[in-house]
Amino acid sequence: MREISHFYLIIGLQAGTVHSTAYHIAVATPGVQMLLTSTTETRTVTVDGAEVTYFDSVETTDGHRPLVLVHGTSGSTASHYGQIFPILATRTRVISADWSPLADSSAPLTVEALAGQVMATVNDAIGDEPFDLVGYSLGAAVAEYIAATQGERVASLVLLAGWITTDGHQKLRNGIWRKLYEEKSEAIRHYMAFCAFSPNFVRKADPNMVEAAIAALPINEFVAAQMDLNGRVDISDVISNISATTLVVAGAEDMMVPKHHSRALFGVIPDARYTETSTGHGIPMERPTEVVQLIDLFIRDPHRYPAGTIIPETHA
């Protein structure tokens, strides 16, 4: 645990966010631990019969708006934002939900349903206050839908590896995943990691850590439902309604959601600016410090770069 604590504090110090903060360790997802600020509370809310767990750091720093994080496929707050939530929580109030399977297991999972779970946790925590919003991967599509339908409640928006409509390339990859899932193949987790991370990240990472991360990947019916949804995402009918000041972030080596999808978002959202990270699809896991810096600087000064700007990578 000492090494984990040191790791989080190093991230915070590099991003210029942490000076002295008390943390506690939460087992947020089976097998995945996350450091949380001492004020962070774990709560649940019932949404259409499904019990949804969320984390709320409670304290608002310097009067800034609450920040809502939305994780991606097969993820959770701990696995996708575990290195990011506790540092951002020293800067402002952070809220993040862990999606829950629908109460009606026969109903297809939809972007609208996941957005409903997120908004239920937000409303439970802060009522009708405005907030800033970050979404990653499928969570970016959910965040796009929320921003498009909640109007001025979403003040600023950060999209990590997002997309508007699933294309043939994505459907091909999802089809391979589905076949591995139906065959109960032992290779499925390694396939997921192969698709998620950049060659440079895997090459430099400790092989034991990589294998441990692969072993921890959840494979279950709810993940399969999320993968099914990935194959049919289409929010093209509402995407142009986004009025929030937006930062679009692409992984330069992303093979799951190639960067042309982020460029399409950059082109269609009126008040958007664009940047890339030298990563694969796993942006928040490969470059947590850079993501902290991108989010923190953007929500504090969203108009630092005018709409239409292509921002050079920070390399934090």
| 246-270 pLDDT tens trace | 999 999 999 999 999 999 999 999 9
Cα dihedral sign, 109-80-91-290: negative
Q: What is the mean pLDDT of residues 116-136?
A: 98
- Name the band, by pLDDT with cuts 50, 70 and 90, for residue 316: low
> 280: which 2 tokens?
């694969």
- In this prediction, residue 12 carries a pLDDT of 38
Q: Is 174 inside any structural domain?
A: yes
CB of 281 closer than 8 Å to CB of 254: yes
CATH (domain of 155): 3.40.50.1820
Residue 315 has pLDDT above 80, yes or no: no
For residue 141, what pLDDT is reported?
Answer: 99
The number of beta carbons lying within 10 Å of the beta carbon of residue 183 is 10
Q: What is the pLDDT of residue 24?
A: 58
Return the closest-CA partner of residue 229 out of 136, 133, 139.
Answer: 139
Residue 254 phi, psi (nearest 5):
-70, 120
Is residue 122 within 8 Å of residue 65, measured between CB atoms?
Answer: no
State the CB neighbour count (10 A cutoff) for residue 289: 19
**Per-residue pLDDT reduced to its tens digit, 152-199:** 999 999 999 999 999 999 999 999 999 999 999 999 999 999 999 999
176 lies in a domain? yes
Condensed to tens digits (0 to 9), the pLDDT of residues 8-66 reads 333 333 334 444 455 555 544 555 678 888 889 999 999 999 999 999 999 877 778 99
Whole-number average pLDDT of the chain:
91
- Residue 316 inside a domain? The answer is no
Burial class (CB in 10 A: 0-12, 13-18, 19+), 205: middle
Using CA atoms of 183, 188, 194, 195 in order, give the dihedral in degrees to the nearest 10: 70
- What would the mean pLDDT of 124-135 be, rounded to a whole number? 98
Number of domains in the chain: 1
Within-domain flag for 101: yes
Contacts of 77 (CB under 8 A, 6+ apart): 28, 29, 34, 54, 55, 69, 71, 85, 96, 97, 98
User: Where do the DSSP E strands lie in the chain?
Assistant: 23-29, 32-37, 41-47, 50-56, 67-70, 94-98, 131-136, 154-160, 245-251, 272-277, 310-311
Length of the chain: 316
**Cβ neighbours for 292, distance < 8 A, ≥ 6 positions apart:** 11, 12, 15, 17, 84, 87, 88, 316
What pLDDT does residue 14 have?
39
Q: For residue 305, is pLDDT > 60? A: yes
Q: Which domain holds residue 95?
A: 2-311
Rounded to whole angstroms, how far apart are CA atoms 154 and 144?
10
Q: What distance lies between CA 77 and its chain's CA centroid?
A: 8
**83 domain-assigned:** yes
- Predicted local distance difference test score (pLDDT) of residue 282: 98
Q: Tokens 């972030």 belong to which residue?
A: 249
pTM recorded for the entire structure: 0.91
Is residue 282 situated within a structural domain?
A: yes
Round the CA-based radius of gyration of the chain to a whole number and report it.
18
Q: What's the CA gap between 184 and 189, in Å, rounded? A: 11
Instruction: Say if residue 132's pLDDT is above 80.
Output: yes
Condensed to tens digits (0 to 9), the pLDDT of residues 204-227 reads 999 999 999 999 999 999 999 999
| Alpha carbon distance 179, 54 (integer Å) | 32
Whether the pLDDT of residue 6 is over 60: the answer is no
Q: Which residues lie below 8 Å from residue 313, measured CB to CB, with a gap of 6+?
A: 275, 276, 277, 278, 290
Is there a domain that residue 73 lies in?
A: yes
